[in-house]
Amino acid sequence: MTAVLPDTYSVRPPAKEDAEAVFELVATCNTAVIGFADFTLDDVVDELTAPGFEPATDGWLVFDGDHLTGFATIYGKGDRRQLDAYVVTAEPIVEAYLLGELTRRAAEIAAAYGHASVPLDVGVYRADQSRRARLAEYGFVTGTTYHRMRIDHAGPVEAPAVPAGITVRRGAPDEAGRRAAQDVLNSSFAGQFGFSPRTFEEWHASHENQSSFDWSQITLLELDGKVVAFRECTDQFLEDENCNYIGRLGVVAEARGRGLAKFLLRDQFALDAAAGLAGTILHVDTNNPTPALGLYLSVGMSASLVIDVWRLQVEVA
């Protein structure tokens, strides 16, 4: 897909100093679709400063005169077997231009990593019917659907009993605990949509850069001296919704069926309620090969937002 911008438009890479302008654009576009910003200034800064992100090649700002009218980034993890794109604009011509740039860059990244093709994923709110229709015209197809699940805490929540034989470790202050968490992540998320394993160094650096995370927000579960489950939380939704966010929760296959995931959820609900938070939020892939959606519904969570991931398979010329 290609599109030529009007002569009054200009394009340049983003910088950290552009964060406030980008946030205003994102907030305006998101509010028009779903009624709220769903983003914070810190989220923008984190994206623009993420380890491995190269603004000169992997980011675009589009201006109409002095007015910022479009923003896009492309980002990959590990061996870049899959790429994530983020596109924000209210103008279809700018969207077409940015998608063209993203597709071009995706092909370059795929070639650099020895891939014949690479899937390029774009998240779109289910409510944004016009963008969904345009992506279909560009050749994107729906890859999967995420539900934002939420549970509200109106008062104290009873802490669950620790499952038999399980030891709970709060926080991951040292490298051993952090490596154990990543090992469970790689094992429990292998084969899931959009998941690309990373080296420990890459994974660790991305967490160190995230303003809403610190290592005290990881919880590990041990069985017979081995870490078999983990929960990773962030403050991503603290500022705008006064909610805790469970970013990742995983249980290795051999430890499933012991109620560990349900324990980790209810344990976090109790902690969040005790901290005076309004609720707890997480995202679930509804096509997850494990019965995750049913698990979250069973503990009282419900969907508050639906986000579809649209995918384009980009071929290397």
Read off the tokens for 47: 């994206």
pLDDT in tens, 14-30: 999 999 999 999 999 99
- Rounded mean pLDDT of the chain? 96
The whole-number pLDDT of residue 287 equals 82
Q: What is the residue range of 284's domain?
A: 150-305
Domain match, 19 and 124 both: yes
What is the pTM for the complete model shown? 0.93
- Residue 235's nearest CA partner among 204, 272, 201, 182 is 272
pLDDT in tens, 297-308: 999 999 999 999
Distances (CA, A) of 103 to 58, 121, 159: 11, 10, 48
Domain match, 239 and 96 both: no
What mean pLDDT is predicted for residues 223-248? 97
The whole-number pLDDT of residue 230 equals 98
> pLDDT at residue 289 above 80?
no
**CATH number reported for the structural domain that contains residue 124 in this entry:** 3.40.630.30
The whole-number pLDDT of residue 111 equals 97
The whole-number pLDDT of residue 119 equals 98
Q: Which pLDDT band holds residue 175 (cuts at 50, 70, 90)?
A: very high
pLDDT in tens, 222-231: 999 999 999 9
Angle at 294 between CA 161 and CA 261, to 5 degrees: 35
CA–CA separation, 207 and 187 (whole Å): 19
Distances (CA, A) of 49 to 44, 76, 109, 210: 9, 14, 19, 9
What mean pLDDT is predicted for residues 135-145? 96
pLDDT in tens, 86-108: 999 999 999 999 999 999 999 99
Last-in-domain residue among 139, 169, 190: 139
Domain annotation covers residue 317:
no
Checking DSSP bridges between strand 141-152 and strand 279-285, what pairing results, if any? antiparallel
Domain match, 158 and 298 both: yes
The whole-number pLDDT of residue 219 equals 98
Domain match, 133 and 168 both: no
- How many angstroms separate the most distant Cα atoms in the chain? 68
The whole-number pLDDT of residue 145 equals 94
Last-in-domain residue among 139, 169, 186: 139
Q: How many domains does the chain have?
A: 2
Q: Which pLDDT band holds residue 2 (cuts at 50, 70, 90)?
A: confident
171 contacts 216 by C-beta, under 8 angstroms = yes
pLDDT in tens, 65-94: 999 999 999 999 999 999 999 999 999 999
Q: Which pLDDT band holds residue 286 (cuts at 50, 70, 90)?
A: confident
Q: Which pLDDT band holds residue 310 (cuts at 50, 70, 90)?
A: very high
What mean pLDDT is predicted for residues 177-197? 94
Last-in-domain residue among 139, 159, 175: 139
Domain annotation covers residue 13:
yes
pLDDT in tens, 262-271: 999 999 999 9
Report the percent of the chain where pLDDT is more than 70: 99
The whole-number pLDDT of residue 292 equals 84
